[in-house]
Structure 1
């Protein structure tokens, strides 16, 4: 990507991050994003054909950061596998919480969801979760570990997570505790 194009992309993403601190993503329009980024509408649409694609790019960046940080932790941590599971799931819930509005926008678009499940990033997430589950489930085959990791991500999709947090009133710690019990039993 050309340097000026990358600079515009970064301006767009940082402007959106700033805007979503003030209001829900579904209330932010493309015109408002272009204005905040101080670019023209054409430039915005050259980078992102719609708001969902923009949300996807933000989520991908944030998810990559989570995966990188969690992988680094697992590379250094040599202690109790249950502690590692607690840490990784806790950080994943923080990622889900911090990106709730963005994830709802992305996950509500079925077509983009299908693209995500076939992406390298999704594979990295599943491998990370498989890696943390393996010492806790040594009797599981690779196929069973992968299935468990994929079902864990499915259980935490934005609509289910938001329902548990906002409608049922569960805290992140309560969700974490229940997930760990579910996975360890």
Structure 2
């Protein structure tokens, strides 16, 4: 996903004049941060630089985003929304492909998404932004999207008798929760490429679910 792909997908806000100005400021902050992060790298961009680029005081910026991690979190949500839209489009277009092929593609795409935004994810984790949300991580929109997508595919495969006997709802939670940012960092640092991780993940976790039915 390119910079233009991301910035073109910021939501268009409407409402009362005061609300519109506030929303426009938020979009200016996110677009400026996105441009600087892509150009200079997340580590090289300070909150002071973001505020200066947007032309606002640091206090105004910190009232919206307590730290760089929370700023990255907002940007990542926008990026994930684009990712989710692309996944849904793929699943619509590939409706005639096998369930195993579609599920493998979803998982592989998620791994590549993590690799593309490694610096952003590290900034979020290092800032402690996720600490207060740990208890509710399984209710976060990204988790729910992946879980529900995986569950629907597993249920379709089960209905077609392409799966070994299992509980699709339970399996979808385990599959989704196994692809954590921390695990991705470890595997990337261990020398695995996104392609190799996806290949190994599919053959270790997904293929055995279908192999018993002889459908892969």
TM interval, short-chain normalised? 0.7 to 0.9
Instruction: List per-residue Cα deviations over 1:52-74 (Å, max 9, x = no partner).
Output: 21111111111122122212322
1:161 paired to 2:184: yes
Which secondary structure state, in structure 2, belongs to the residue aligned with residue 169 of structure 1? coil
Shift of 1:138: 5.9
CA RMSD of aligned residues (A): 2.3
Structure 1 position 51, deviation (Å)? 1.7
Q: Deviations over 1:9-63 (max 9, x none)?
A: 1111111111222334234211011122232223312321222211111111111
Partner Cα separation in structure 2 for residue 138 and residue 75 of structure 1: 25
Query: Which residue number in structure 2 is paired with residue 91 of structure 1?
Result: 109
Instruction: Give the 5 Å matches for 1:16-165.
Output: 16-78=33-95, 79-108=97-126, 109=128, 110-134=131-155, 135=157, 137=163, 139-153=165-179, 157-165=180-188
Is the CA contact (8 Å cut-off) linking 2:69 and 2:125 kept in structure 1? no
TM-score (norm 2): 0.73
Q: Looking at CA atoms only, which structure, 1 or 2, has the larger radius of gyration?
A: 2
Contact 1:67 1:124 in 2 (8 A): yes
Report if aligned partners of 1:106, 1:112 keep a CA contact under 8 Å in 2: no
Alignment gaps of 5+ in structure 1 = none
Distance, in Å, in 2 between the alignment partners of 1:85 and 1:150 is 12
The whole-number CA distance in structure 1 between the counterparts of 2:149 and 2:169 is 14
Deviations 1:134-155 (A, max 9, x none): 42646221332233333333xx
- Alignment of structure 1 residues 163-178 onto 2, 5 Å: 163-165=186-188, 167-178=189-200
The one of 8, 17, 30 equivalent to 1:13 is 30
Q: When the two structures are aligned, how many residues end up with a matched partner? A: 181
Give per-residue Cα distances to partners, 1:103-146, cap 9 Å, x unaligned.
12223422244444332342122112323344264622133223
Q: Which has the higher helix share?
A: 1
How has the CA–CA distance of structure 1 residues 104 and 131 changed in structure 2, closer, same or farther, with 3 Å as cutoff?
farther
Counterparts of 1:89 and 1:146, CA distance in 2: 12
Relative to structure 1, the CA distance from residue 144 to residue 117 in structure 2 (aligned partners, 3 Å threshold; closer, same or farther) is: closer
| Mapped partners of 2:77, 2:106: distance in 1 | 18
